[in-house]
Amino acid sequence: MEGNTSKSTYLPETRVISGMRASGKLHLGHYFGALQNWVKLQKDHQCFYFVANWHGLTTHYQSPEVVEESCMDMLIDWLAAGVDPQKSVIFIQSQIPQHAELHLLLSMITPLSWLERTPSYKDQREQIKDKDLSTYGFLGYPLLQSADILMYRSTWVPVGEDQAAHIEITREIARRFNHIYGNDDKTKQRLDQLLKSMSGEEQKIFQAKRRSYLEQGDKSGYADAREILLNGNYDPEDLLILLGYLDATGKVILPLPQALIGEFAKMPGTDGRKMSKSYGNTILLRDSEDEISKKIKVMPTDPARVRRNDKGNPEKCPVWEWHKIYSDDDTRKWVDEGCRSAGIGCLDCKKRLSDRVCAEQKPFLQRATVYQDDKAQLINVLEDGRAKATEEAEQTLKQVRALMGVGI
Ligand code: TRP
Ligand code: SF4
């Protein structure tokens, strides 16, 4: 397929953006829940990954040291996991002040009720009692996130299920923006001309697909209609007008992103509950072999196996859940049979597991050493990321400022 978008740098063909709140060292829950996917996405997309340290402040404004320290730790963890600075743009949110500017500008058109009804806002206000979250910053959390995303005119946003509502708000805000600022008379006239210039057959198919998308939410209809436009050899500006027509808004100034919700198995912690810092049941991405094996040694097992020759049942044992993730079929068979017949002891079983986990994490540690030993390398990565992100951010903001009458 030859898309015409390559002529314009404004609308990237496929771009991914995601961020993580600064919140301490990362563990395997973060790896399986997000990072592993980030690493994979680098293969086929242009990816932007950033530390959302301003978002960290919305809940940790009273602990600036936590926000500051987690920033660098998180970056090294990403690089350790395989986020590749040669392929992806890696940066820190607060180094791109344009995020704050876009946040402010978008706040002018964002109805208060959209923010007040965000499920995460309501839930967290109720759940988190030890912090005062009745701040302006906390209410604006999803809007700042929208600015992060819309800034880079991204197509895909890989996030967990819990973030789906934020991506939905982001789409609503983009729609509203394009509707308000992308509907001047010149644009409307041009749209008329463009629609008239489509051939009869093409026009018919395009309109049918568009209707099926707008009236029934048919996503494949949307994809087909979009494909027709991308293959139409349009001038980049015209393409933005037509794509906006497809969304029934106005000319596309801020493209509508889509959530890429990962379906990940929840990584269990070493005690079988969900892995979480607050339960103290984590294995960190950069734990040493010693630390890993120590943590695995004390994992609880099937309570029925008190003595070495008591038979057990893997289904009642958190160690087994880990074998399911880390071990191959042969090992799993060895565990299942050996546990049920008391042919193996729990320590043998755990030793095999820790060997596997250590082997998986060895490359993480190797990649991390480069950056731990030489901070200048990390600074270089960030400097590169800052430069590329700023360039993209300015492209969007130039348009937004001009359209909102503050471009002088
Ligand atoms: N809210 C996200 C989280 O808690 C972090 C985040 C901030 C983000 N800005 C973003 C994620 C932009 C994706 C895109 O996980
Ligand atoms: Fe768990 Fe393995 Fe012990 Fe069975 S042998 S109880 S699976 S640790």
Task: Say which residue the tokens 């660098």 belong to.
Answer: 72
Any domain includes 280: no
Q: What is the tens place of the pLDDT at every residue in 270-313? A: 999 999 988 999 999 999 999 999 999 999 999 999 999 999 99
Task: Say which residue the tokens 């607060």 belong to.
Answer: 94
- pLDDT tens track of the chain, all 408 residues? 333 344 457 888 789 999 999 778 999 999 999 999 999 999 999 999 999 999 999 988 989 999 999 999 999 999 999 999 999 999 999 999 999 999 999 999 999 999 999 987 777 777 777 777 889 999 999 999 999 999 999 999 999 888 999 999 999 999 999 999 999 999 999 999 999 999 899 999 999 999 999 999 999 999 999 999 999 999 999 999 999 999 999 999 999 999 998 776 678 999 999 999 889 999 999 999 999 999 999 999 999 999 999 999 999 999 999 999 999 999 999 999 999 999 999 999 999 999 999 999 999 999 999 999 999 999 999 999 999 999 999 999 999 999 999 998
Euclidean distance between CA atoms 91 and 382, whole angstroms: 6
Ligand that comes closest to the CA of residue 339: 2
Whether residue 5 has its Cβ less than 6 Å from ligand 1: no
Task: Say which residue the tokens 């200048």 belong to.
Answer: 376
**DSSP codes, 3-25:** -GGGG-SSS-SSEEEEEEE--SS
Residue pair 360/322 in contact (Cβ under 8 Å)? The answer is no
Residue pair 120/166 in contact (Cβ under 8 Å)? The answer is yes
The reply to whether 118 and 15 lie within a common domain is yes
Residue nearest to atom 3 of ligand 2 (CA): 346
Residue pair 270/281 in contact (Cβ under 8 Å)? The answer is yes
Q: Could you tell me how far CA 161 lies from the centroid of its own chain?
A: 11
Pocket test for ligand 2, best of 299, 308, 311, 346 (most atoms within 8 A of CB): 346
The reply to whether 34 and 89 lie within a common domain is yes
CATH number at 327 reads: 1.10.240.10
Residue pair 250/176 in contact (Cβ under 8 Å)? The answer is no
Any domain includes 273: no
Any domain includes 355: yes
Buried b (16+ CB within 10 A) or exposed e, 381-396: bbeebbebbeebbeeb
> What own/partner pairs with CB < 8 Å and gap ≥ 24 does 313-317 have?
313/339, 313/340, 314/339, 314/340
Ligand that comes closest to the CA of residue 160: 1
The reply to whether 191 and 302 lie within a common domain is no
Residue 342 CA to ligand 2 centre (angstroms): 9
Find residue 18's DSSP bridge partners: 49
Any domain includes 277: no
| pTM to 2 decimal places | 0.92
Q: Which domain holds residue 222?
A: 185-252
Residue nearest to atom 13 of ligand 1 (CA): 18
Pocket test for ligand 1, best of 15, 16, 17, 21 (most atoms within 8 A of CB): 21
Euclidean distance between CA atoms 100 and 98, whole angstroms: 5
CATH number at 75 reads: 3.40.50.620
The reply to whether 83 and 214 lie within a common domain is no
Ligand 1 nearest atom to the CA of residue 166, by list position: 1
The reply to whether 29 and 141 lie within a common domain is yes
Residue pair 268/274 in contact (Cβ under 8 Å)? The answer is yes
Secondary structure of residue 155 in the 3-state scheme: coil
